[in-house]
Chains A and B, each alone.
Chain A
Amino acid sequence: MSWVQATLLAPGLCRAWGGICGVALTGISISQVARQLPRGLHCSAATHSSETALVPTPTEPQQRRTKAVVPYENMFGQAPNGKRDKASFLQAVQKFGEHSVRKRGHVDFIYLALRKMREYGVERDLAVYNQLLDIFPKEVFRPRNFIQHIFIHYPRQQQCGVAVLEQMENHGVMPNKETEFLLIQIFGRKSHPMLKFLRLKRWFPRFMNINPFPVPRDLSQDPVDLATFALRRIEPDLSARVTVYQTASSKDSTDVADPTQPHIIGIQSPDQQAALARHNPTRPIFVEGPFSLWLRNKCVYYHILRADLLPLEEREVEEMPEEWNLYYPMSLDLDYARHGWDDYEFDIDEVEEGPVFAMCIAGAHDQATLARWIQYLQETNPALAQIPVVFRLAGPAGELQTSAGLEEPPPPEDHEEEDNNLQRQREGQS
């Protein structure tokens, strides 16, 4: 089976090598090979998750090699103190080396190890990957003549090597010189793992900083820190100030009145503050939300304080004060405007939206909590006392309800607070 497919794949490899060695490295050939290779070799109908694209799912190989797998599982199982960390992982790898001097079953072991890496928390450790590659016997799989070069040589081993690199790629681990050296030793210069390696080397640096708004890899577990980060991320104004209005009270706190006090973190920029001060008190403002924001695998929910767009007739035209600048005229008194040829402004049809005055992330999404947020806001925005606040809280429709490490999702809102009768949330009531 693999022979036939390897034959079919060989031109792909040649093409890809041509691309790498040639001037232009086209993206097409790369993606083709990378995609075809695993599918073709494994004949696995199961769709792989992106995490372990090349690592076969445990069920499939177990059926074929039930006997072989068990001892390796044991190797990982028998850590001395049951701790799962880098040391015990390396110990298992070392144990495999001692156990099987001729490296028999090393491919299976590597696949298993790749699957186990997350458990041991070493999935981002370059040294561990290099250790894994080191398990391969050296010089054995290197093609020795041109026929071997043309056809895929030791496809299962090569594919295993690619799987290691693929997992590195998925976890953003950049291979180093040692990796290169190992790969050359094991598979030779013109091999699929080497090709993969070169692609990593080429594209990783280029895409590393492609995101202008990077999210740190390890997000804080503390909801306050997470909320602060999320709010900073939403708010474009750098002078905006994050305020921690209240933090979640612990179980044994002395606060009898409110034992389950959720945290409230808000953000407001000086401009927003000024806009709120200018707001016409006869028009209500709205607390809306929760809206979701995903940060890696965490989801936070935020609320905004906003107003409707003023109707055209009520907008004040900002007039230029006559006596403004003591030193030079702010506008020239001429009756001809900019020439069309020098007007580089694009005619952009902008959708105008009402102003947003503040945002917050709270531990609970009920009205009581948000009303408290408005109270706190009032300390810095006295104008808020005069403005009616309407709560428009809705359940987050269409969002994932469960996710690992997720903040508890808001309860399916049974209080659909569409207060159309302008429920006034006057300060001082509470």
Chain B
Amino acid sequence: MSGCGLFVRTAAAARACRSLVVFTASRRPLRTSPPIRAFAKHLFLGKIEKKEVFPFPEVTQDELNEISQFLGPVEKFFTEEVDSRKIDQEGKIPDETLEKLKSLGLFGLQVPEEYGGLGLSNTMYSRLGEITSMDGSISVTLAAHQAIGLKGIILAGTEEQKAKYLPKLASGEHIAAFCLTEPASGSDAASIQSRARLSEDKKHYILNGSKGLTLSTQLECSGMILAQVWITNGGLASIFTVFAKTEVVDSDGSVKDKITAFIVERDFGGVTNGKPEDKLGIRGSNTCEVHFEDTKVPVENVLGEVGGGFKVAMDILNSGRFSMGSAVAGMLKRLIEMTAEYACTRKQFNKRLSEFGLIQEKFALMAQKAYAMESMTYLTAGMLDQPGFPDCSIEAAMVKVFSSEAAWQCVNEALQIFGGLGYMRDSAYERMLRDTRILLIFEGTNEILRMYIALTGLQYAGRIITARIHELKRASVSTVMETVGRRLWDFTGRTVDMGLTGKLGVVHPSLEDSANKLEENTYYFGRTVETLLLRFGKTIGEEQLVLKRVANILINLYGMTAVLSRASRSIRIGLRNHDHEILLANTFCVEAYFQNLFSLSQLDKYAPENLDEQIKKMSQQILEKRTYICAHPLDRTY
């Protein structure tokens, strides 16, 4: 603790206001100011909320100085002392490394300062994520500890709970884990089996489970009451955020099962964990089953309200996502360095690899993705850091989806540049590829997040245009005429102007084309959303292939906005190499624009590009037989 004091203090100074922001998060209902309008939701209406995203968020010079002071030692530690290969091979982060991480204060980055943490803002937290991602296992361990493990206490904990737990968690003396998923329930909260029962004296909850035919009950012999599988940090942790079902008396007197969140210490007794699971990637992180058997949890350890665990879980999950973007961006930047080094030295056919077009293409791709990812992350972090608690969960989800997929794609391409060399166990790329794969899966799989992105936005847009849709369905003459007229007007291929460019525009003239493309895409996206809602109404939740496209378009739109905003800022303040940024931004926008056009045309009814019916039919036929049903090409009938 004393060792980290220095760093804590140096990093602590000017962030009182930030920590206050985090600190008051639990008092959200008291807020009186009008709700901040979220940018992404407005895209669904075909509008761009310029104020939210332009100009690109900045941090003060003081903050920047402090964070760079803080970054130095961390980076030094990671480059010099962390042996990623050893961690990967042994499947364990060495204790001395963990100790050093603790002394650097990396376990309490977002814990408010009055509880002994660093109280970093979201932006600063993202910046640090770039460094910690040098090792996947450490990065995941840290994220499981503070992005979800102890986030519950920060978001929903009472004063006493915070005072009791946060200091030790921030110092790393205790490690936190988040226990939500169960063997029988992945994203399905209704099938959570674990139960907590109030004891006779009403002072404790006793974690109790029903014995289902789950895998875990079979594994465990008699006493197993509750199994939570695959908890990152499960073996290291001594503080758990556990979600269990409790009986709650409703307002109308009926008894219902509702999820409640608890803070459970390992010392409460009855907490055991299985042996660490062997995984494909992030092998150094500790993932194992955790069992709670008649664990007595004091009543004061209920997190949030009794029966309010669902909301707590959702808030924690939604808040933890955006930071993946910076971690991946940091990794990609290092990856580009390493691959470029190789490509410029290795010779084939008397030419350097870097002279081949197919290799150059890969670098352009990596740079573009990294650029867009960085822009999106810091834009989101900046939005989150604004006072007034904007709801940026869609934006965060978009960052997560984009960055995880880009990471997989780029690492894959990088490995391709190395060819057979990259495939060898000795190279770092093989490990990176394995480590990267988890990004698409955890913190909500990308499929689920796409549903989240699309459905949340459609819900918002659907409410707002309810009146219009009712009029259209009643065939109100004026509304129908207006719609038809607008369609005709759109059909002429008019230019859409939302004021991003031009005299008072927020986008720099050198990005004008891209900005126009963004405007056009956004406008037609709004139209398409309206049509989709008119067509499918509330049943749109069943049209997953449609929702996927909606989410893809939205992610692209957000990426375009982010790069435009960032590149404009870079030119205006004259950052180094801003011409390169313009190039990247413009290329990204053009690509995204055409992708969007394609997706939009697929969303039209009867579009020839849309193969959904065929796709569904194919998979139906296969799933009916549960096998690949075609005859072998060598089979014959005579």
Contact = CB atoms under 8 A, between A and B. Distances in A.
Contact of B536 (A324, A326, A338): A338
B429 interface: no
A143 B190 CA distance: 82
Contact of B258 (A205, A209, A323, A330): A323
A294 to B, nearest CB: 24
B537 A338 contact: yes
A327 B626 contact: no
Nearest to B443: A327
A334 B456 CA distance: 12
B535 A339 contact: yes
A402 interface: no
Contact of B189 (A176, A204, A208, A323): A323
Nearest to A206: B637
B346 interface: no
A128 interface: no
Interface size class of A (residues with CB under 8 A): 20 to 34
Nearest to A323: B310
Q: Is the interface of A mostly helix, strand, loop or mixed?
A: loop
Contacts of A330: 541
B447 to A, nearest CB: 10
A336 interface: yes
B468 to A, nearest CB: 11
Contacts of B317: 326-327
A334 B469 CA distance: 11
Contacts, number: 95
A421 interface: no
A342 B466 contact: no
A329 B451 CA distance: 9
Interface size class of B (residues with CB under 8 A): 35 or more
B539 interface: yes
Interface in B51-68: none
B459 interface: yes
B69 interface: no
Interface centre among A208, A334, A335, A339 (most CB of B within 10 A): A334
B382 to A, nearest CB: 25
A312 B221 CA distance: 43
A174 B538 contact: no
B498 interface: no
Given A208-B637, A327-B444, A336 B537 contact: yes
Contacts of B480: none
A336 B451 contact: no
Contacts of B538: 331-338
A288 B309 CA distance: 49
Contacts of A341: 535
Contacts of A337: 537-539
Contacts of B537: 334, 336-339
A336 B466 contact: yes
A338 B541 contact: no
Interface in A303-334: 321, 323-334
Given A332-B455, A332-B462, A339-B534, A327 B449 contact: yes
A238 B448 CA distance: 28
A174 B537 CA distance: 56
A199 interface: no
Contact of A321 (B190, B444, B462, B626): B190
Contacts of B259: 323
Contacts of A233: none
A118 B451 CA distance: 64
B458 interface: yes
B576 interface: no
Interface in B529-560: 533-541
B187 A204 contact: no
Contact of A324 (B190, B455, B459, B539): B190
Contacts of A327: 187, 317, 444, 448-449, 451-452
A331 B463 CA distance: 13
Nearest to B318: A327
A201 interface: yes
B603 interface: no
Given A209-B637, A323-B258, A329-B455, A335 B466 contact: yes
B451 A328 contact: yes
Interface string A195-208: 00000010011001
Contacts of B462: 332, 334
Given A205-B637, A324-B189, A326-B189, A332 B451 contact: no
A334 B538 CA distance: 5
Contacts of A201: 638
Contacts of B352: none
A176 B540 CA distance: 56
A327 B551 CA distance: 14
Contacts of A208: 637
A207 to B, nearest CB: 9
B337 interface: no
B470 interface: yes
Given A205-B638, A324-B190, A327-B449, A336 B541 contact: no
Interface string B564-596: 000000000000000000000000000000000
Nearest to B536: A338
B252 interface: no
Interface centre among B190, B449, B470 (most CB of A within 10 A): B190
Given A323-B190, A326-B314, A327-B317, A333 B459 contact: yes
A306 B458 CA distance: 44
Contact of A328 (B180, B190, B452, B540): B452
Given A238-B626, A321-B190, A326 B313 contact: yes
A201 B452 CA distance: 57
A296 to B, nearest CB: 21
A21 to B, nearest CB: 21
B188 interface: yes
A275 B291 CA distance: 30
Nearest to B637: A205
A325 B536 CA distance: 21
Interface in B427-477: 444, 448-449, 451-452, 455-456, 458-459, 462-463, 466, 469-470, 473
Contacts of A332: 455, 458-459, 462, 538, 540-541
A328 B536 CA distance: 18
Contact of A326 (B180, B458, B466, B626): B180
Contacts of B463: 333-334
A218 B638 CA distance: 20
Interface string B313-354: 110010000000000000000000000000000000000000
Interface in A324-369: 324-339, 341-342
27 contacts: A174-B637, A201-B638, A204-B637, A204-B638, A323-B310, A324-B188, A324-B190, A325-B187, A325-B188, A326-B180, A326-B187, A326-B189, A327-B449, A328-B452, A331-B541, A332-B455, A334-B459, A334-B462, A336-B473, A336-B537, A337-B537, A337-B538, A338-B535, A338-B536, A338-B539, A339-B536, A342-B536
Top 4 nearest A-B pairs by Cβ distance? A205-B637, A328-B452, A323-B310, A334-B538
Given A331-B538, A341-B535, 4 more contacts: A174-B637, A325-B188, A327-B444, A334-B462
Interface of B: 180, 187-190, 258-259, 310, 313-314, 317, 444, 448-449, 451-452, 455-456, 458-459, 462-463, 466, 469-470, 473, 533-541, 605, 625-626, 631, 637-638
